[in-house]
Amino acid sequence: MTKAARNLQKPAPANRVSDATLRGFVGYNLKRAFNVMRADLSRVLQPFGLRMLTYTALVLIVDNPGARQAQLADAMDMERPNMVDIIDQLERLGLIVRDRVPTDRRAYALNPTDKGRRVYAQAVEAVTRHETLLTSKLDETTRRMVISALRQIEIDHTEGTG
Amino acid sequence: MTKAARNLQKPAPANRVSDATLRGFVGYNLKRAFNVMRADLSRVLQPFGLRMLTYTALVLIVDNPGARQAQLADAMDMERPNMVDIIDQLERLGLIVRDRVPTDRRAYALNPTDKGRRVYAQAVEAVTRHETLLTSKLDETTRRMVISALRQIEIDHTEGTG
DNA sequence: TATTGTTATACTCTATAACTATA
DNA sequence: TATAGTTATAGAGTATAACAATA
């Protein structure tokens, strides 16, 4: 029996599940698009031994040498404890170092290594290609408008909370 | 010492972490907005004993009574094993039932209970209010454009993959 | 007292492999 | 052989509580 023939035998309402109710929400479409993006990004970052968050942290450290973990956690909008493993991994990969801050012996100044800067350049390039594919159906104006709208969603909430 | 005064004493590059490189990517803004949405949605759904995925599944089951788990997993773009716990939870909450399909004893027809339909109505209303707040800075045209663009991102990838 | 980094822990979302009972 | 649901397991991304060292 062909797949089409099989489908015809299935009960009508169960034949194809409709998500029409949910499709009207930005939140639902946001979740779906995010999932697609994350799965694809993971694949792109795998050759570098990176995942989404270690990639993000590496970019922030190269762009902001000397930043502390708490500042990084703040910038990534996450809790401090979750930074520890991320920084551990980047250090183990030899991409960054934890330098002691002489004026505050509680803190670490996070700095990229030469290797870290090289991997940064390669990874950003790979992610840029990934982004191009991801948004291939959007013209530049739409792409910018989406970025702007997503930021509005984020900022809006941040204002209301803290 | 005031917070502003403290900030002035910190080393310049570490003072404020810039994510300018990442902000140019749709992917990064997507992730940030998604995180905000998810945290807020969890709070909204908590009074119903629901989380993001159980809410999604409940809506799909009420809108598509009789659907099987595999179909639901397909609609939610997730692997079948991950549906089990979601359906278990909805069943334990008394919101849905697993009815045996007479013509295929391997499968379950998922159906909402009366309580499930009531919670559905209340939860969708609460999520609608949440969505309104989330997108309060976007006019209706922009909101629709964002939904359309997010869907393009998702569909684009789906075409390339399967 | 407050902050930095840390440990411990738990919850949620996701994926893969392999099993059972059916078909 | 293939499919529906399941079990077991692992990897990511989150959050909270509490601690030691330092400010």
Find out whether A61 and A112 touch, Cβ atoms under 8 Å: yes
B64 contacts A18? CB cut-off 8 A: yes
Average pLDDT over residues A54-64: 98
**pLDDT at res. A61:** 98
Q: Which nucleotides of C are covered by protein (CB under 7 A)?
A: 3-9, 12-18, 21-23
Mean pLDDT of A70-92: 98
What is the distance of C-alpha B124 from the center of its chain?
12
pLDDT for the residue A158 = 66
| Cβ-contact B109, B83 below 8 angstroms | no
Q: Out of B32, B60, B156, name the one closest to residue A19 (CB).
A: B60
Judged by phi (left if over 0) then psi (alpha if -120 to 50, else beta), residue B110 lies in beta
pLDDT of residue A30: 98
Residue of B nearest to A129 (CA): B25
- Going by their DSSP bridges, the two strands B104-112 and A108-112 should be labelled as unpaired
Residues of chain A found within 8 Å of residue B75, distances taken between Cβ atoms: 17, 19
Q: Label residue A12 by pLDDT band (50, 70, 90).
A: very low
- Taking residue B18's Cβ as centre, other Cβ atoms within 10 Å add up to 13
Q: A67 is written with which tokens?
A: 């930043």
How confident is the model over B6-28, as a mean pLDDT? 72
- Judged by DSSP in three states, A18 sits in coil
Handedness of CA B42, A37, B131, B151 (dihedral sign): negative
Return the SS3 of B97.
strand
Q: Do A127 and B32 touch (CB under 8 A)?
A: no
Q: Which residue of chain B has the CA closest to A140?
A: B26
Residue B64 CA to residue B127 CA, distance in Å, equals: 19
Closest chain A CA to residue B35:
A154
Task: Name the band, by pLDDT with cuts 50, 70 and 90, for residue A4.
Answer: very low
What is this structure's pTM?
0.90
Interface contact B17-A60, CB threshold 8 A: yes
Q: Give the residue on A whose Cα is nearest the Cα of B152.
A: A137
Give the helix ranges, DSSP H, for chain A: 3-9, 12-15, 20-23, 26-45, 52-63, 69-75, 81-92, 114-134, 140-161
Cα B147 to Cα A145: distance, rounded to the nearest angstrom = 12
Mutate to test the interface with B, among A34, A53, A145 (most CBs of B within 10 A): A34
**Structure confidence at residue A156 (pLDDT):** 76
Q: Please report which confidence band the pLDDT of residue B43 belongs to, taking 50, 70 and 90 as the band edges.
A: very high
pLDDT over 70 percentage in chain B:
87
For the stretch B98-140, pLDDT in tens is 999 999 999 999 999 999 999 999 999 999 999 999 999 999 9
Residue nearest to nucleotide C20 (CA to C1'): B106
DSSP 8-class letter at A95? S
Question: What's the whole-number mean pLDDT along residues B11-16?
Answer: 52
**Residue A85 Ramachandran class (φ > 0 left, ψ -120 to 50 alpha, else beta):** alpha
| Cβ-Cβ contacts under 8 Å, B23 against chain A | 147, 151
**Percentage of residues in chain B having pLDDT higher than 90:** 85
Is A81 near strand D, with its CB below 7 A from some atom of it?
Answer: yes
pLDDT band with cut points at 50, 70 and 90 for residue B156: confident
Mean pLDDT score of chain B:
90
Is the C-beta atom of A68 closer than 7 angstroms to strand C? yes
Mean pLDDT of chain A: 90
CB A42 within 8 A of CB A52: yes
d(CA B109, CA B113): 13
Q: B17–A64: do the CB atoms touch at under 8 Å?
A: yes
Q: Mean pLDDT, to the nearest integer, of A116-120?
A: 98
Whether B151 has a pLDDT exceeding 70, the answer reads yes
Average pLDDT on A17-45 reads 98
**Interchain CB distance below 8 Å, B30 and A30:** yes
